[in-house]
Amino acid sequence: MPRRRFLSVNSRNPVRPVTDGDVGRRAMRREEMQMEPPLERYLWALVDESQLVLGAELVGAYAAGSIALNAFQAGRSDVDIALVSRSPLPVTVKEQLAQRLRHEALACPARCLELVVYRRDVAMSGTSEPGFELELNTGAGMDFRRTLQPEDRPVADGHFWYGLDRSILHQSGLPVLGPPASDMFADLAPADLRNLMVTSLRWWITLPAPSDRRAPGAEDAVLGACRALVRCRSGRWLSKVGAGLRLLEDGYASADLIKESTAARSGGRPPSGARARAFQQQVLEEILNSGQ
């Protein structure tokens, strides 16, 4: 790859669209991506911008979340990306990377970008701790937020996300740059993974929600619990909708609620907050009992 001149993040560069010229400079096979061209071009451009800042420190870039699980929904899903650095990053480099990747500098074609940078030793450790170098949330659908170390993240926002995400990456991460995700990200020990799923369900259950009326987002609470339960039962991560459908195939109770939640992901009416919380409690108790 030709060497490119570094542009200072302090320069007032306008937002540029992602073009076809950003595509084709990485090793990922096009047939592996299974995504719309705007999203594909955005991933190439994001890695290109990351390399401008990190250079040889960047040893991997992986699509996670709904992209990795082949369940991305335009207009609803986020773009979840994990970058892997060779060593710890100085604060100035973290700030530069956040500025180059924020929506105002590189427009995200989805609701938002949720990006996390891990050191390689953390990614390969199988730890349940957050362990990130940088977390960046940015997009037209959310406020800009960047966190430079786990200690800066409010406890109330939950610290369980990262171990769960790395477990999904180990299984299904889509490499844009670097070796296979299963070689870069270690899975968690079963007990640690179960503890994180229990913590996440308890976190969701304590969130305020309308109890007696349909609540937007309640469908994600239901289907997220479905995904945790399927992972606990089968050892495989599925998408939220895929997990709901798997439980329906298995004849799981609360079929009407799962069907309603699945339909809500495609524009149907969501369930009530009370029904979602009751379902989460039911799943929580089953996962707790599975560890006995």
Look up the domain containing 249 and give its range.
190-290
* Predicted pLDDT of residue 292: 58
Nearest to 201 by CA among 228, 239, 237: 228
Same domain, 95 and 226: no
Residues 108 and 241 in one domain: no
Q: Which two tokens stand for residue 198?
A: 């229990």
Pick out the chain residues at pLDDT < 70. 1-34, 209-212, 292
**Residue 133 contacts by C-beta under 8 Å, 6 or more apart in sequence?**
85, 88, 89, 94, 117, 118, 119, 148, 149
Does a structural domain hold residue 4?
no
Pair (270, 212) in one structural domain: yes
**Of the residues 168, 184, 200, which one is the last residue of a structural domain?**
184
What does pTM read for this prediction? Answer: 0.87
pLDDT, residue 30, reads 44
Q: Which of 128, 154, 184 is the last residue of a domain?
A: 184
- Phi first, then psi, for residue 164 (nearest 5°) are -65, -45
Q: Is residue 5 part of a domain?
A: no
pLDDT at 58: 98
Q: Residue 285 has what pLDDT?
A: 96
Among 184, 200, 216, residue at a domain's last position: 184
Compute the half-sphere exposure of residue 138: CA atoms within 13 Å on the CB side of its CA.
23
Residue 234 and residue 178 share a domain: no
Structural domain contains residue 15: no
